[in-house]
Structure formats: C-alpha cells, structure tokens
Structure 1
C-alpha cells in the first residue's frame, strides 16, 4: 500500500482594515482567494483613543483563525499582511496615527504577531490597495501611477518606477487635507475647506443638502423624506437629475485640480480611482479626465481609470506585501 505524503495547506492571509469594516481574505500558496469575510471595525466597547486596542486584536485574531479553518487550511498560517488606515510606519509595524480609529502609537504588527504566531507586516491601507491593483487589477502593466480611494475620506498612493513612495514621516499622497480656495466647511481634522470636505461620501451628502436648501424643488432628491445619502445622489444623477449630476461634476473637478499638480510633477502613466464614491464611474471620472487631459500639456496623457478589484485589492496587496 502506497502512502501519499501529506501536502501542507497553510493560509496566506490578507487583511484590509477600514474605518467602517475590516475585510479578511484567505489565500492558498498560489494566491487563489479561498474565503473572504467582513466584520465591523469599530466595536462598541473600543475606547475613543488608545495605544492598545486589545479588543480589536482579539476579535481580528479570532476571525482570522476561524476563516482559515473554514477554508480548509488546517496547517496554520504561512504569512499575514495588513492594510491599516492612517500614518503607518511599515518598518516598525506601528500605527502612528490612525485618527478615524483612535489609534496612536499602536505596535500593531508586534501585537498581532504574538497572537497569530507568525510575522505580520502592515502598511497604509491605500498603499496596500494600490499594490493590489498594480499586481492584479487596473494597474497591471504600469510602473508609474497614482492610486486613490474615495470613500469615507480620500487617500492617495504613489507608485514610481514600480516602487511605493512613502515620503517623510510616511505622509506622501495625503492630499485630503489640502485646502480648496473659497471653501469653509469644517473638516474632521479641525481645518476648514479641506479637499476631503468635498471629495468624500460625506462631502457629496453635504453638497446635496446645500443644493436642496438652495433649489430644493428643482431636484428629485427633494422628494426624499430624509437626508440623502451619497448613493441617493448617484442614483438621482443616473436618472437625469441635473443638480445631482452637477455635484459629481464639481467633486470631480475639485479632485482633478489637486491631482493635476501631482500629474505634472510625477508624470504617471495612469491615475486609478477606487472606493465607494468611485462607483459613480464616469459621473466622477469624466470630469477628472477632461480637466487633467486639458491641463497636462504633454502628448502622452495619463489614463484615468476606475479601480477593478473592489475590496479584494486590499487583500491581494496585503498578501503581496507580506510576501515581499
């Protein structure tokens, strides 16, 4: 009787931690996604500000081991990579300032490595997302690109000659708190008129509310018996509502004006835009493409593309980063 050698089946784990939800992906050694699961990031009993989010560590550990078992990875974990929002030091594995989560000076990789029993590597979530799109999504074939996510907030990753640019103190690409001339809306950072007060889901909602206050009867949004969501504005725009279409055009033009300087400075081959607000597709991308292509004087204009992988980009990027 011939006994077949046991083929080890370990889990390759990618985690995308967001301000609202955390997504876990379990991959096999060939980087095939076996299982994916999402759960709320901010648990009710988490403190508002901490350097030791123990409850989240424990919850994430439980979910990773449980999902690995579901995926049939009975030989444990091979490696773990994570995208974490905010200012992240990938060399020390620290979340220096993840303000939306209340994490400051958190030794995240060290604490998760102790719980999981394998080395854990972390980096800023949008850089991990960009690595996923570069590896398997809309960024394939490019070595120079900007990759943005526009959702709860806005964040940008810079890829130059195939390398992630992190910058001094890991702040490269943080355009969300640059100011927009003439704007005075209060931002969560404490400043007024930040890009993020316009180019974000909350920004779209604020602009819709202001439009209704100014010309309520001229928009189909006025028929709602509640404050419209960003998705409501998108649906109204698709259905031909001029006020909603104007909101997305304005958001796109504001973003394009900020990106144009970066495009002239870095000369990327592509600008890739993902996140919830990017689901507006050409309502948002169209104005961005028009403004950047009109303002960029060189013949080879950068492609303006929608990200292709959704939340899987962060998972693929995390595993890729952990493997590097």
Structure 2
C-alpha cells in the first residue's frame, strides 16, 4: 500500500492539488476553480472543503500502480491563518471568517490536516527545494495582486505574535497618495503589485500585448522591458526602489542570506531584481557576495511543495 500526501495551494481564483509519495515526488497535479465560475462558493467554506476533499479522494484512487492511501494533507491559504489551531480567522478573497478549516477538512478526509499562510507555504517550498534551499536565513516575497513576505530565521518560519509577520505590503510609503484596499493611504502594495504596475503603465501610455487598446498588465510591462522600452524599465525601477527601501530595514534587522522574490510581478526578472540588489549592496557593502537577491525557482509548485511539507512533518 503506497502512502500518499496531499499538498494544496488555495488561491482566490484557482486551487491546485498535488499528490506526493514518501520520497517527496510530485505524482499528479489537479487544478480547480476555487469559487466556481459564478463565485457560487464565495464565503461557503463547507461547500469548498467538500469539493476539494472529493477531488483529493478521486485523485488518490486514480493513481496507477499499487493501491494508495492518503495519510496527511497540508494547505496554503491566503489570509489570517493560525497553524496551531487550524483556524482561518479572515480570508477576505474567499469570504471566510473564523473557519475551523483543518478540523473540517480532517473530518472529511479522515487524516491529519495542517494549514499555514500561503506566502509562508510558498517560502517553505523554496527553502526545501528551490532558490533558498540550503539557507537558514531568508526573506521570501510573492508579488501579485498584493505583496507579502515570509521570514526564515535559523531555518524556521517566523509567524509573529498574531500570525501576521511579513505584511510588508501594508507598510506606508511617504509621498504615495492612493488608498489601499485595507483602508490606509499610501501602502507599498499600491505601487509594488500587479495592479500598481498596471496603473503606472496605463498612466504612461503603454499598451497591452494581449488586448489592443486595453489596460496593460504587469506582464505586458515586463514584455515591454524585454524590448528595452524606457518607460517600462523606469516603472519597474521605481517599484523596485520603493521595495528596496523597505527591505533595507529588514536586512539590517534580520541579516538574511538570500531574498527570494516570486509572483507575477517578479517575472520581469533583472529589470526588477537588479535595482533591488544594487540598492541593498550599496547600503550594505559588506554583504556584497554574501546577500543574494534571486527569482523564485519553483513557480507554482513552490506552494505545493511547501504544503506537502506541512503534511509530511505533521
């Protein structure tokens, strides 16, 4: 009988299930629509957990070879998550508040279930098998719709006193005037995010590659960067320098060995990572050759691998 572990990345748009064996090999991936095409599952954690549990059971049953049994499952979930009691306190993008997720899913699957914040789950994947592998001190960021960070010290992820460590996106930048969805004015993620890059690009008159005349996305701006478009390069440099300014304090406090950056905005590569690296090395010249600023290596599999390790280490 093969022992199987499920690692699940829960996103506001899509959910990805990965099944792993005891040798930590990813055997299969299953992609689902998190809320349904009409968002009919928004706020309905019961319907969502039942759907995901059924897909996990079906995927395990379809595995080729020897009969397989699920022994544990791990989940990365966006929002305020408490890994100790398994409760999702607030997941705005899903419409969940005070959901005892680990208990609900464990009852459905009849196996131990562990959960953590999605960014810490991404970071765990990069620490175990990606760009931060072999490092004990790291800052890992994902930049998409918003921006958040996960911090590893002595090889352990830091969650903070309220499970909110790493919410760098809501640190205010002097001079920014746009209101953030959180309600504050001038949060970092009003610029350093996919929507922030998109707004800057539209104001600069850049165009969309996918939709002629449409609003350019961060991916569009990254493609303009690859064509050495000065406006696009300037937008990414501006966003990079704002982020680097915030990272200076983190570097001074935490002395990381590596900063790993993933998510859609980071797909621009060196036009975004280069200015961050330059500024940090200028501010901390003694860290040249010691502090790396790198693109995440695992893509969407980082969160699956991290969630698998939540389950494997349970």
TM-score range, shorter chain: over 0.9
Q: Deviations over 1:48-82 (max 9, x none)?
A: 5x4x5112112211221222223237332111011
Q: Deviations over 1:246-277 (max 9, x none)?
A: 11111111111111100110000000111111
Could you say which residue in structure 1 is the equivalent of 2:75? 82
SS at match of 2:176: coil
Q: How much is the aligned-residue C-alpha RMSD, in angstroms?
A: 1.8
CA distance in structure 2 between the partners assigned to 1:57 and 1:299 by the alignment: 46
Runs of 5+ in structure 2 lacking a partner?
none
Q: Which moved more, 1:73-82 or 1:121-130?
A: 73-82
Q: Deviations over 1:161-198 (max 9, x none)?
A: 01111111011111111111111112111222111111
The answer (yes or no) to whether the contact 1:147–1:156 under 8 Å persists in 2 is: yes
Could you say which residue in structure 2 is the equivalent of 1:305? 294
> Structure 1 pair 221/321, CA: closer, same or farther in 2 (3 Å)?
closer
Shift of 1:292: 1.1
Could you say which residue in structure 1 is the equivalent of 2:274? 286
Computing the radius of gyration over CA atoms, which structure comes out larger, 1 or 2? 1
CA distance in structure 2 between the partners assigned to 1:16 and 1:101 by the alignment: 13
Runs of 5+ in structure 1 lacking a partner?
1-7, 213-218
32, 56, 60: which one aligns with 2:52: 60
162, 173, 182: which one aligns with 2:175: 182
SS at match of 2:8: strand
**Is 1:69 aligned to residue 61 of structure 2?**
yes
Aligned residues between the structures? 309
The answer (yes or no) to whether the contact 2:177–2:185 under 8 Å persists in 1 is: yes
**Is 1:238 aligned to residue 226 of structure 2?**
yes
SS at match of 1:135: helix
Q: Normalising by structure 2, report the TM-score.
A: 0.94
